[in-house]
Amino acid sequence: MNTEVRETIFQHALEWVLEAGKTIRAHMNDPLTIDTKSNANDLVTTMDRDIEAFFTSNIKQIFPDHFILSEEGFGDQLDTMDGTVWIIDPIDGTMNFVHQKRNFAISVGIYQDGIGEIGFIYNVMEDVLYSAKRGEGAYKGNKKLPALNDNLNFHESIIGLNHFWLCENRLVDERVMQQLVKDVRGTRTYGSAALEFASVAEGILDGYLTLSLSPWDLAAGMVIVNEVGGMTTTIDGEKINMLGNNSVFTCNSKIHQRILESYLQEARK
């Protein structure tokens, strides 16, 4: 992507992300209509839909030849990553949005022919914006994020994962995962994949493991983590497919191989 074109897209996206965040904050205490999707705990609200519609109508107006992949159905049905593709999660962490009124994010990744060019993760209630352009580093607000700690010791790392890994499940042997939890310094569960990616990029979390994410949960995060020298693969160490669901392992590159070989490969069913 030509840098001038990218800058124009970046500036529009930035403006829309901040405006969407402002809208959410302004309506935070309005009565909410909450629906469920695949199961009783899979929530969606009118706010998720309104914010997604806000992005899609703006994008279609200013960039009619761009494509959109998004969670709530306002985007396009894509079977290729060719062209410019906006990958949008209007609210990542809807359960936190509903129950906590905080700890959720707007996530926007912009890809050109399958390559992540721009990423935004906006922690709406804290008004903290993580952003990145490919090859130009990642930022938290106006501050450039430093490269991830090159001397990280595996036993001193903090890993983001949720309880699914530790309960009996059909994908991994929970006993191996319990051993991982004992071997690292600590674990955290934030409930917003985007904010977990942002935390990995900031170096306050050293890795994040999850059994299944959609493209809009990870598109922005992958761009941002890449810019500080981190890496993102599936839990089998493979490349992420942007058009489908993936298991995800994003981390400080220092601990990738160790966790992959000593735990994930062992645990895999």
The site for ligand IPD (CB under 6 A) is made up of 89, 92-94, 191-193, 210, 213, 217
Least distance between ligand IPD and beta carbon 126 (Å) = 17
Nearer to ligand IPD, 147 or 211 (CB): 211
- Give the residue among 174, 181, 228 at the shortest CA–CA distance from 201: 228
Picked from Ca ion, ligand IPD, none, the partner binding residue 177 (CB below 5 to 8 A depending on kind) is none
CB atoms within 10 A of CB 141: 10
Structure tokens at 192: 């917003």
- The verdict on 52 binding Ca ion (CB under 5 A) reads no
Q: Which stretch binds Ca ion (CB under 5 A): 56-64, 65-73, 117-125, 137-145?
A: 65-73
Residue 82's φ and ψ, nearest 5 degrees, are -65, 145
Residue number closest to Ca ion, CB atom = 92
- Give the residue among 211, 217, 200, 202 at the shortest CA–CA distance from 255: 200
CB atoms within 10 A of CB 186: 11
Within 154-213, the residues that bind Ca ion by CB under 5 A are none
Nearer to ligand IPD, 94 or 232 (CB): 94
Q: What is the maximal distance between C-alpha atoms in the chain?
A: 52
- Give the residue among 145, 137, 120, 140 at the shortest CA–CA distance from 19: 120
Least distance between ligand IPD and beta carbon 32 (Å) = 14
DSSP per position, 207-247: EEEEEEE-HHHHHHHHHHHHHTTEEEE-TTSPPP-TTS-EE
Least distance between ligand IPD and beta carbon 213 (Å) = 6
Structure tokens at 64: 């009619």
Least distance between ligand IPD and beta carbon 189 (Å) = 8
Residue 170's φ and ψ, nearest 5 degrees, are -90, -5
> What x/- string results for residues 89 through 128 when contact with Ca ion is judged by CB under 5 A?
x-xx------------------------------------
The burial of 194, by beta-carbon neighbours within 10 Å (0-12 exposed, 13-18 middle, 19 or more buried), is given as: buried
Nearer to ligand IPD, 89 or 202 (CB): 89
Residue number closest to ligand IPD, CB atom = 193
Structure tokens at 190: 């934030």
> What x/- string results for residues 7 through 46 when contact with Ca ion is judged by CB under 5 A?
----------------------------------------
Least distance between ligand IPD and beta carbon 111 (Å) = 19
Nearer to ligand IPD, 67 or 165 (CB): 165
Residue ranges that bind Ca ion, judged by CB under 5 A: 71, 89, 91-92, 217
